Amino acid sequence: FMPVWLKWGFWISPLTYAQIGISGNEFLAPRWRE
């Protein structure tokens, strides 16, 4: 269970979107299809 303000702080942080973008980019890379 997380307090509401903590969830809000997680999604407003630019680092959240950077981490999601980097991990999505890495796992969708062609080298994983080998």
Please tell me the predicted confidence (pLDDT) of residue 24: 93
Rounded-to-10 torsion of CA 20, 2, 9, 16: -10
Please tell me the predicted confidence (pLDDT) of residue 1: 80
Express each pLDDT in 1-34 by its tens digit: 888 888 898 889 999 999 999 999 999 998 877 7
Please tell me the predicted confidence (pLDDT) of residue 7: 86
* Calpha distance 17→6 (Å, rounded): 16
Please tell me the predicted confidence (pLDDT) of residue 9: 86
Please tell me the predicted confidence (pLDDT) of residue 17: 94
DSSP per-residue string spanning 1-34:
---HHHHHHHHH-HHHHHHHHHHHHHHTSGGGG-
